[in-house]
Structure 1
C-alpha cells in the first residue's frame, strides 16, 4: 500500500472528510486531495503531523510494504510503542451512561457552590435592617454554616463522581480505536441530541445574562439593604440555574465528542491537553482563590460574580497562547 492509500485509509478510519483533515494539518483541502490521488507528496512536517494524528509511525506511512501496527505516540520518549485500546459497543454505552448521569451530579454540585452564599447575604441584610429582629452575629453564624455545608456537600459530590469515572478517564486523555458500528451509533445519538444541546445552551446563557436584572432594579429604586440583599440572592439563584443547564448539556455533548475524537478530543488536542493540564489546574485554583478573597473582603457578592465570565474568556485566550507556544516548540524540535 502506497502513502496515498494509507492517508485515505487512516482519514476514513477516523471519520474525517478531506476538509477536516486539511484543517487539522493547516493545509488546503486541495492539498489533501492531491496527496490521496498520488498527485503530490506531503513534506516531512506534514508526515510527522499525520503520524501523530493517526497514531501510527512515520515508518508505516513512508514504507510501502509495512503494515499498520496499531501503535500510539508517547510524547515523553517521542516514540511509538503500545497498541491502541479497542472501544467496544458495551464500553461506549457504559461511558455515555456514566457521563449522562454524572452531568446531573456535577451540574447540581456546581449550582450548590454558586447558591451557597444566598442565605448568608439575605440574613445579614435582614439583620442590618432590623427585619424579624435577627441579630447580625446570629445571622452571620447561620449563614456561614449553611455556606460551608453547601460547599462541603458539593465537594463530596465532585470527589465521588471523579472516583467513579476514573476507570474511564483514558477515553479523554489517550488515543483509541472503536470497533465496527460504535462510531455510527455515537454519531446518531449526537445528531439526535444536538437540538437539546442548542436549546439548553441558549436558555442557560440567557438566564446568566438576565440574572443581574433584579439587582439593577433594586439599585435603581434605591431599595433598602434588605431588598438589595434579596435581589443579590435572586441573582445567584438564577445564575445557578443557568450554569446548571450549561454544565448538563455540555457534559453530555462532550461525551459524544470524546468517543468520536472530535472537537476538544481529537488525537492532536489530547497530546496538547497532557501538556496544558497543569496550567488549567493552577489557573482555576487561582481564580477560585481570588473570587473568594474578593467576595469575603468586600461582601459585594452582587459584583464579584463577574470574576467567572471574565476568567472564562481569559482562560480561552491564554490557553490558545499556550497551545500556540507548545505547537511552535514541537515544530522546532521536529525540524532540529
Structure 2
C-alpha cells in the first residue's frame, strides 16, 4: 500500500470522515483528499501527527507493506503522564552516573589486580624470609596455605552476597582491600605466635 491508500484506509478504519481528519490535522478537506489521491504528500509534522492519531508508526506510513506493530492508544496516554525533568535534575543524574561509573571501574580494576598483587606479595614475603637458597615452608606458611583458599572464598561470598542483597555495587568493592589488609594482619599474627612457640 502507498501512503495515500494507507491514510484513506486508516481514517475509514477509525471511522473518521475527511472533514473530521482535516480538522484534526488543521488542514482543509481538499488537502486530505489530495493526500489520499497522492496529488500531494503531507509534510513531516503532519506524518508524525497522523501516526499518533491512528496509533501506527511513521515507518508504516512512509514505507510500503504492513505495519511492524501498532501503537496502543492507552500507551500513548502513559507518555503524557511522565514527569518532565528540569535541566538541573538531568545534570544531577548525569553527574551521579559518571561518578558511579568511575567507582565501578576502580572496583573492577581492583578485583582483576588483586590475585596478581596477592601472588606478588606472597612471593616477596617468601624471598624476604629466605635464610638460605632452599624455600622451606615454615609452620606459619603451612597454616596460612591451609586456610587461604577458604579465607578468599568467604571474601568472595561476602562481596557477592552484600552486593546482590543491597545492590550497592558502588561501595561493595571496599571489601577487597579490607580483605587483603586483614589477610596480611592475620598472617603476621600467626607468624609471631608461631615464632614465640618455636622460641620456647
**Bigger Cα Rg:** 2
TM-score, with normalisation over the residues of structure 1?
0.23
Q: Which has the higher contact order (CA 8 A, sep 6+)?
A: 1
